[in-house]
Amino acid sequence: MLNEERVILMTKMASYEATDGKKHIKAGNFFRGDYLSIEVMKSLVYGTLAFALGFGLYVLYDFEVFMQDIYKMDLFVFIQNILIYYAVFIVIYGVVSYFIYSYRYKQARIHLKRYYQNLKKLSMLYQKK
Amino acid sequence: MTKLLELRENLKLILNRYEAFIIPIGKFLLAFSVLSVVNGQMGYMSRLDNAALVLIVALTCSFLPLGAQIFFGAIFSLAHMYTLSIEVALVGLCMYLLIFVLFFRFGPKDALVVLMTPLLFFMKIPYVMPIAMGLLGGPASAISVGCGVVVYYLNYSVVNNAATISTMGGDEAVAKIRLIIDSAVANKEMLIVAAAFVVTTLAVYFLRRLAMEYSWTIAIVSGAMLNLVILMLGDLIYDVNISVVGAILGGIVAIAVGKVIEFFRFCVDYRRTEKVQFEDDEYFYYVTAVPKMAVAAPAKTVKRINSATAPTRSVTTERTVAGQGRPRTGSSRSVTVNSQMVSSRRTADSDRADDYEEIF
């Protein structure tokens, strides 16, 4: 016979699994440190790509001046400056990513805890039957 | 109020019942409006400025995730930029990629916001977006709202400078790039509007989560006023000619839309607030519970005056043993269920949890 409480619980859990649950379960498979390392590494790759795009736009913007000065400028100093800008940008982007993903990991753990409690409750309901 | 609450419940019922049709239709309408606006505003490539093509792409989008709409919107916009000038398309591509790489990583779910913000700018009610996202989204939505503002101003600056760009020759490639970057990226108006929208979204989000009475209304009104103040301050400092009347009217519309969202999302009755205290082994709890305003959707009942018996339906259940498939005919049993039995079995406990809004 249908158990209404069990059906309601299973519906809620299935709905969670189909939406945020996927992401949360994926995050929950990692230890916090591993999850944050992976996500921050991904952010560093994306950040590098974004910096390259920004630098490309900067060169395009001042292309004529850049081409005129390229033989006169001290290339070592120029590259050094670019690397400093890159380091500052990537550190800020990495720190922001770290905070965002640590918040998301915390939220995922909270939701997963509730999900596992529901699983336990469901298992007890089956045993009671 | 009761009528409004009934209307809300009916709308919810209709949405639940016809969700399979309403969502694709909504996606279709959104894609159609976005692509039509892009074609209407830019329309430099005559092959794309074709109602049949827009219709086909919008129909395709109705069965794809929302990200696909952003993709097609960007393709349409870049194609028009390309027809105008390849340098403009290059800058546009770089900007879209930057937005995708830097910000979309944090809020891929908010694709709708990036689409809706330029659309609301076109409808002259952009101030609705930060209030709506502060109420419905999270702090990361502020990033998406900012991205939407950048996308709008990029396209706006291309349209604004189209006449100048088309008169420039092929040997003025760098000048074209500089013109677009100056008018799109280094646009002070864009920076002020983006800053105002980001701050407003965050302020509305944090205010509406405060554990105080009428937090949503306070968040909506304060958000609209904060938005106005930042825009006016920016206008005073940088002299960018933001329309004061437009901003005030936009703020009023934003408040009205915010109240509608509040009605559908957070309709509570503060007069029936309950404050309770209890304790367990580890903590004392001081809980404020605010009941939600709700009425049951009016159900239509058909009274049969020529039939005395209650309607019955037959259910046939079959018992199967694992691994043996369906049993032979003759081992099934028949149960007759009275409809009144089914409707009266709903437990009160499961419903009770949904009667209160969580405010902490």
Quick one: DSSP state of residue B232?
H
The helix (run of H) or strand (run of E) holding residue B312 is strand B312-317
Quick one: DSSP state of residue B116?
H
pLDDT less than 70: residues of chain B: 108, 297-300, 307-360
DSSP character string of A42-70: HHHHHHHHHHHHHHHHHHHHTHHHHHHHT
B259 exposure class (CB count in 10 Å sphere: 0-12, 13-18, 19+): middle
- Residue among A53, A64, A100 minimizing CB distance to B98: A53
> In 3-state terms, chain A is what percent helix, strand and coil (to 5)?
90, 0, 10
- The C-alpha atoms of residue B48 and residue B132 are separated, in whole angstroms, by 32
Please name the residue of chain A whose CA is at the shortest distance from the CA of residue B177. Answer: A61
Question: For residue B335, is it within any domain?
Answer: no
> Looking at residue B341, what is its pLDDT?
42
Which residues on A lie below 8 Å from B105 (Cβ)?
A: 42-43, 46
A57-61, A68-72, B23-27 — most confident range: B23-27
> Looking at residue B311, what is its pLDDT?
55
Q: How many domains does chain B have?
A: 1
Question: For residue B95, is it within any domain?
Answer: yes
B221-269 pLDDT, tens per residue?
999 999 999 999 998 998 888 888 888 999 999 999 999 998 888 777 7
B58-84 pLDDT, tens per residue?
999 998 888 888 889 999 999 999 998
Residue type, B122: F
ipTM above 0.90, yes or no: no
- Domain membership of residue B169 as a residue range: 85-267
Please indicate, yes or no, whether the overall pTM of this predicted structure exceeds 0.90: no
Question: For residue B106, is it within any domain?
Answer: yes
Chain B residues within 8 Å of chain A (Cβ atoms): 90-91, 94, 97-98, 101-102, 105-106, 140, 174, 177-178, 181, 185, 345-347, 350
